[in-house]
A and B are shown apart, each in its own frame.
Chain A
């Protein structure tokens, strides 16, 4: 590549980077402003005085919902990853009749607009008395997470040679041994990818959260954040600090484990 071409590439990349950074910049500077400094006229300016007012206000309002989100996301992530791993094992290493059809039937659940199950779903949880609880959301995310976690683990396990399983079965391992002593120990990268994917998705999810939980005290952080904006006077520093707080856990995961996050993204598109 010639030098001019290289320089042009960089200029283009930097311009596009500005586009990508802009929302982040606005969020960051606004969240560090005090309420009297937040004004429309200075919204692009750097804060004159750094203030934690926004964060304190946002934390007060969102802390319980943040806790809800953790209570929801962590168990749902763990359970759906384990389920996906077991399913992936069955579908990749214990081939059975119609396993492809069953896989397709399960996989379809990943693409449906959840609106098409929402009404009966809510009626169902009302009937069993779980409506409006975090438990209901955990169940929902575990079940609707089955397709994607199964897909990811199936693809992961298909890379592992069948001979490894056969060697174990000749060595005297039953299916339980094969899974726990051979497959599971080499599944750690798979679990990291799936867990990051599920954590991010469940944390960020909104539709189920807003329709299944009606009590503000029980709502996950995404719903609380939207409700924050819905109040009469929008305190933008609090709003932006809140957005930042809501994004923080997934952002930290992304920064710390970006490699696995990308792998999850790519695994999510069925077969590339």
Chain B
């Protein structure tokens, strides 16, 4: 069992900067937990506090049920993979991986066995005699992971480990890390600013902004049920469209209404929006839930908007239409067979079952 529990954790730097505010969450045993957020959101600080590299200003950190606030990093039974890998430049790959075991006075044979085993898993067995300088970025990355694996720690901590790799290698390492997680059956805390990494690898995502946790949930939850406008906008590319609008009553139900926009709210949402009638709200809908009416095959009623195409970006598998809609702005990810071109008018269908509504003041999700 290697459960990590954060209870009301704060980080305040001596210069007064409040990096993490009242963070509370639990990383279950064998869970792959991703801390996600823009740079400066406090995610790395949180990870470093779990590692013991950063002092916890307030709150309690428990690993395996034991409070470890004042335990040295080396005694927390964790391993850390750094963004820049932090390999010891004067040691061979073998010695880099063996260093922690040697310091812990493991018998020689066991060190050898563990290092070779990890090297095999990571496919770096042929590099054991090399120095870090002689390795490519991807190979260094593997050695850094290997250094963590040999220790067989309770918890693996990763700090943006893929950010120094090129795009292609990143995709490959992503799936390898995921496989490794299953193979090792390990508890992993993984920091990234890349939402794709988070969505593809995580069991649980913790989204942070300005030191505050915005939402904790599965990839499914944070994508389909964002708790606030920030999460809704942060997850997904291109990001969710936000339109300022009003909820109005009439013509057999509730409507989202703004200039050049009048679409009917599905029945199931009406109850939640009762109190917002005639009030300003933020209407959100993802680009992938908007379609070009001329080529759309599904059924639809009362969900069509008309706008002018500013830019059309064909991406191959789909086309992005940037559309102006009465002074506001909308991106639609439509089928590539669309005939809409720059400067033309286009009729778009909004899949209203996927709509989101946010309170204009609090930016919290109503739907």
Direct contact between A and B judged by beta carbons closer than 8 A: yes
Residues of the B chain whose Cβ atoms lie less than 8 Å from the Cβ of A166: 51, 53, 73, 80, 82, 86
CA distance A254 to B84 in the complex (A): 36
B103 interface hit (Cβ, 8 Å) = yes
Q: Which residue of A lies closest to B74 (CB)?
A: A172
Chain B residues within 8 Å of A181, by CB: 99
Residue interface bits A149-192, CB-to-B below 8 A is 1, else 0: 00000000000010110111111111001000110011000000
Residues of A within 8 A of B336 (CB): none
The interface residues of chain A, by DSSP majority, are classed as helix
CA of A186 to CA of B133 in the docked complex: distance in angstroms? 13
Q: Which residues of chain A come closer than 8 Å to B282, judged between CB atoms?
A: none
Q: A173-B74, A186-B89 are in contact. Are A167 and B103 (CB under 8 A)?
A: no
Q: Are B86 and A171 within 8 A (Cβ)?
A: no
- Check A171/B82 contact, CB under 8 A, given A185-B90, A186-B90: no
Contact residue among B79, B83, B103 (Cβ-Cβ distance under 8 Å from A177) = B103
Q: How far is the CA of A173 from the CA of B75 in the complex (A)?
A: 10
Name B51's closest neighbour in chain A (CB-CB). A170
In the complex, are the beta carbons of B86 and A182 less than 8 A apart? no
- Interface contact B103-A171, CB-CB below 8 Å: yes
- The size of the chain B interface, using a CB distance under 8 A, is 23
The minimal Cβ–Cβ distance linking A149 to chain B, given in whole angstroms, is 22
Q: Is the interface of B mostly helix, strand, loop or mixed?
A: loop
> Which residue numbers of A lie inside 8 Å of B, CB to CB?
161, 163-164, 166-174, 177, 181-182, 185-186
Asked if B73 contacts A163 (CB within 8 A), the reply is: no
Other contacts beyond A170-B52, A177-B103: 15, CB < 8 A: A166-B73, A166-B82, A167-B82, A167-B88, A167-B147, A169-B53, A169-B73, A170-B74, A171-B74, A172-B74, A172-B103, A172-B104, A174-B74, A182-B88, A186-B89
Cross-chain contact B86 with A173 (CB below 8 angstroms): no
| B100 on interface, CB distance cutoff 8 Å | yes
Instruction: Count contacts between A and B, CB distance < 8 Å.
Output: 56
- B137 to A: closest C-beta gap in Å: 16
Does B103 lie within 8 Å of A163, measured CB to CB? no
Q: Which residues of B contact A (CB under 8 A)?
A: 51-53, 72-74, 78-80, 82-84, 86-90, 99-100, 103-104, 147, 151
Tell me the bound Cα distance from A166 to B85 in angstroms. 11
| Residues A170 and B78 in contact in the complex (CB < 8 Å), given A163-B86, A164-B86, A185-B90 | yes
Q: Name the distance in Å between B92's Cβ and chain A's nearest Cβ.
A: 12
10 tightest Cβ-Cβ pairs between the two chains A and B: A171-B100, A163-B86, A172-B103, A167-B86, A172-B74, A185-B90, A163-B82, A170-B73, A170-B80, A164-B86
Residues of A within 8 A of B74 (CB): 169-174
Say yes or no: A163 contacts B72, CB within 8 Å: no
Report the separation of the CA atoms of residues A186 and B147 in the bound assembly, to the nearest whole angstrom: 19
Tell me the complex Cα distance, A9–B101, Å.
61
Given known contacts A164-B88, A166-B53, A186-B90, A171 and B72 CB-to-CB distance under 8 angstroms: no
Chain B residues lying within 8 Å of A168, measured Cβ to Cβ, are 88, 99
Inter-subunit contact A170/B103 (CB<8 Å): no
B80 touches A161 (CB 8 A): no
Chain B residues with Cβ below 8 Å from A164 are: 86, 88
Closest beta carbon of chain B to A97's beta carbon, Å: 9
A182 to B51, CA, bound (A): 20
B73 nearest CB across to chain A (Å): 5
Residue in contact with A163 in the complex, picked from B84, B99, B100, CB distance below 8 Å: B84
Contact residues in B for A173 (Cβ distance below 8 Å): 74, 99, 103
Instruction: Report the bound CA distance from A177 to B72 in whole Å.
Output: 15
Assembly CA distance A5 to B96 (angstroms) = 54
